[in-house]
Each structure stands twice: as structure tokens, then as C-alpha cells.
């Protein structure tokens, strides 16, 4: 096998068929960019889940003066009820990992901090805020156990799971990821069809060469390799462009735009980009190689 000969054939082929080569490069770049974005969004959701699920807690708000849920009909929570609730929570270990009691005074301080720039802070006094147990679960998905044990008990105003709020947000992100993935798959199908057609055109425009190659006894590999490499090279260029796009998205959109404005959460790191890049290159070269191989088998038969 003479590498030099094959390389020059590949170069000639790519140049002669420049418009098709560019079309393949662009579709591969666009479809793989979308594919990469959808993978990146998934990595982002995973990162955020790791970050938030560690921090989410179940809040058990106790009745304060003026609470109007039926379980608070007896007025503010009594110390007996409070002790009983705490004892029951303790009995739920090890599912319950940490129990933290927040008094009305502490709730008031936190409220003041959270709304320090808002006029609401001044309109609320300490006795209107409920005291609460903040419970951290060993397994955040076991929220129902806590909810069913405490909801509606006298002295408890409300049982609140922060995770449910987060899950709505993650569902939204998951939806975006699914849309990006669907578009990516459609674009990849387009890419495969385009590569197949490009190979058909290339095989046709070089039918003189290939028929002579067949006659003088060139092996199938020798005849097909330049075509396969052409498909792989243009797909490879497209994939590298897609990786470049992903790097740009990470360094500009995430690091410079999103991260400074949303400091309360963490964002995907470069390790995610490094993990996705080889997948994009493999998928790009693999798909286009398979498409080319299957097409050539039909058009360059012995």
C-alpha cells in the first residue's frame, strides 16, 4: 500500500468535488454541534443535580400565630407538639440524615437577609414567620416517607420539598436537551444521506479511474480507500469545527455570560467538554465512514 499515492488521490478527490466537500463539512459541523450541545446540557443537568441534591432539604413548617390551614386550628404550635415532631423525626434515622431546628427569631434574621433590598422586609414581624424543622434526607428521593408521616398533623402547617421545585427546572432543561438531540439526530440523518450522495457522485466522476483500477487488478481496499478517506477527512474537519464550537460555547456562553450572572449554581467544567469532544469526532467520522462504505459497496463492485 503506497500512502503517498492514496494521499494524493484523496487530495485530488476533495479538491475536484469542492462544493460537495464543503457541504459535508458544514452539515457535519452543524449536526455535531447540536449533538454536542445536547450532551453538554445533559452534563449540566447532572452537575446541577449533584450540586443541588446535596443541599436540598425538606422543610417542616410549624404553625405560627395566624396560620389558617386546618391542622393549625389549635393556634400556634405547642412545645409538646414540637418535641413530639422532633422525636418522630429522630426515629426516622437513618433516612433522615440531619435535623435542624429554625426558630422564629432565626427565620426572621434569614428573611431580613434574603429580602434586604425589598420593602417587604420591613412589613413582616417576627411572630408572623413560622418556626420550622429543616430535614436533610440521606436519599432525597424518599421525600414521600417524610411527607406522609407529617403532613396534616396538628401543629404542622406545611411540609415542603425543595427538590420538587428543582425537578421542574431540571425537566425544563431536559426538554431543551431532548429538542437539541432530536434536531441533532435529524441533522445526522441528513449528513448520512449527503455523504452517501457525495460518494455516489465521486464514484461516478471517477468511474474511468476505478474501472481501470479494476482491470489492472487493484484490490477493493485500494479502490475504495481514497473515497473512504475523503469521507472521513471531510467529516473529521466538520467534527473539529463542532468541537471548536463547543469550546467557544463553554468559554464564552457558560464561563463569561452564564456563570457570572448565576453564581448560586455550578456549571459544567472543561472535563465535560474534554469528554464530549472525542465522542463527536468518533460519531462524525464513524457515521460518514459507514455511509460511504455502504454506498461504495454498491457503486464500486469488483
Which cell numbers in the block locate residue 229?
Answer: 478517506
CB of 234 to other proteins, least distance (A): 22
Which cell numbers in the block locate residue 42?
Answer: 445533559
- Cβ nearer to other proteins, comparing 87 with 215: 215
Phi, psi of 54 (to 5 degrees): -70, -30
How far apart (Å, rounded) are the C-alpha atoms in residues 36 and 42?
Answer: 10
End-to-end CA distance of the chain: 19
Asked if residue 18 binds other proteins (CB under 8 A), the reply is: no
CB of 200 to other proteins, least distance (A): 21
Residues with Cβ within 8 Å of 64's Cβ and at least 6 positions away in sequence, in order, are 76, 77, 104, 127, 128, 129, 130, 131, 157
3-state secondary structure of 101: strand
Asked if residue 302 binds other proteins (CB under 8 A), the reply is: yes
Q: Torsion over CA of 92, 98, 103 and 106, rounded to 10 degrees?
A: -160
CB of 209 to other proteins, least distance (A): 6
Asked if residue 200 binds other proteins (CB under 8 A), the reply is: no
Asked if residue 216 binds other proteins (CB under 8 A), the reply is: yes
- Cβ nearer to other proteins, comparing 1 with 87: 1
Out of 112, 214, 289, 290, the only residue in the binding site for other proteins (CB under 8 A) is 214
Outline where DSSP puts E strands in 13-162.
58-62, 96-102, 132-137, 156-161
Phi, psi of 162 (to 5 degrees): -65, -25
- Cβ nearer to other proteins, comparing 87 with 302: 302
Site stretch for other proteins (CB under 8 A), options 1-9, 43-51, 156-164, 253-261: 1-9
Out of 1, 15, 118, 125, the only residue in the binding site for other proteins (CB under 8 A) is 1
Asked if residue 15 binds other proteins (CB under 8 A), the reply is: no
Which cell numbers in the block locate residue 288?
Answer: 460518514
Binding mask 219-248 for other proteins (x = CB under 8 A): xx-xx-------------------------
How far apart (Å, rounded) are the C-alpha atoms in residues 244 and 250?
Answer: 10
Out of 5, 204, 262, 270, the only residue in the binding site for other proteins (CB under 8 A) is 5
Out of 215, 261, 264, 271, the only residue in the binding site for other proteins (CB under 8 A) is 215
How far apart (Å, rounded) are the C-alpha atoms in residues 184 and 40?
Answer: 13
CB of 197 to other proteins, least distance (A): 24
- Cβ nearer to other proteins, comparing 164 with 205: 205
Asked if residue 205 binds other proteins (CB under 8 A), the reply is: no
Alpha-carbon Rg for the chain in angstroms: 31
Residues that bind other proteins (CB under 8 A): 1-2, 4-5, 208-209, 211-220, 222-223, 302
Amino acid at each position: 500500500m503506497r500512502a503517498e499515492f492514496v494521499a494524493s488521490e484523496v487530495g485530488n478527490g476533495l479538491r475536484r468535488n469542492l462544493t460537495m466537500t464543503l457541504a459535508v463539512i458544514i452539515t457535519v459541523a452543524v449536526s455535531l454541534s447540536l449533538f454536542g450541545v445536547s450532551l453538554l446540557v445533559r452534563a449540566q443537568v447532572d452537575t446541577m443535580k449533584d450540586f443541588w441534591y446535596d443541599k436540598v432539604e425538606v422543610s417542616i413548617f410549624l404553625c405560627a400565630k395566624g396560620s389558617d390551614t386546618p391542622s393549625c386550628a389549635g393556634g400556634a404550635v405547642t412545645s409538646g407538639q414540637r418535641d413530639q415532631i422532633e422525636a418522630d423525626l429522630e426515629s426516622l434515622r437513618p433516612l433522615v440524615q440531619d435535623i435542624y431546628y429554625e426558630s422564629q427569631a432565626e427565620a426572621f434574621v434569614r428573611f431580613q437577609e434574603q429580602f434586604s433590598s425589598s420593602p417587604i422586609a420591613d412589613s413582616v414581624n417576627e411572630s408572623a414567620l413560622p418556626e420550622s424543622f429543616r430535614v436533610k434526607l440521606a436519599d432525597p428521593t424518599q421525600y414521600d416517607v417524610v411527607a406522609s408521616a407529617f403532613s396534616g398533623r396538628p401543629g404542622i402547617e406545611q411540609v415542603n420539598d425543595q427538590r420538587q421545585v428543582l425537578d421542574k427546572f431540571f425537566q425544563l432543561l431536559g426538554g431543551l436537551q431532548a429538542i437539541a438531540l432530536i434536531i441533532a439526530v435529524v441533522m445526522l440523518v441528513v449528513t448520512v444521506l449527503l455523504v452517501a450522495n457525495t460518494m455516489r457522485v465521486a464514484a461516478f466522476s471517477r468511474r474511468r479511474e476505478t474501472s481501470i483500477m479494476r482491470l489492472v487488478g487493484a484490490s477493493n481496499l485500494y479502490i475504495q480507500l481514497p473515497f473512504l478517506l475523503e469521507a472521513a477527512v471531510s467529516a473529521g474537519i466538520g467534527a473539529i469545527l463542532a468541537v471548536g464550537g463547543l469550546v467557544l460555547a463553554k468559554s464564552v456562553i457558560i464561563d463569561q455570560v452564564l456563570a457570572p450572572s448565576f453564581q448560586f449554581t455550578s456549571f459544567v467544567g472543561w472535563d465535560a467538554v474534554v469528554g464530549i469532544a472525542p465522542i463527536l469526532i468518533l460519531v462524525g467520522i464513524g457515521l460518514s465512514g459507514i455511509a460511504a462504505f455502504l454506498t461504495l459497496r454498491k457503486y464500486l463492485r469488483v
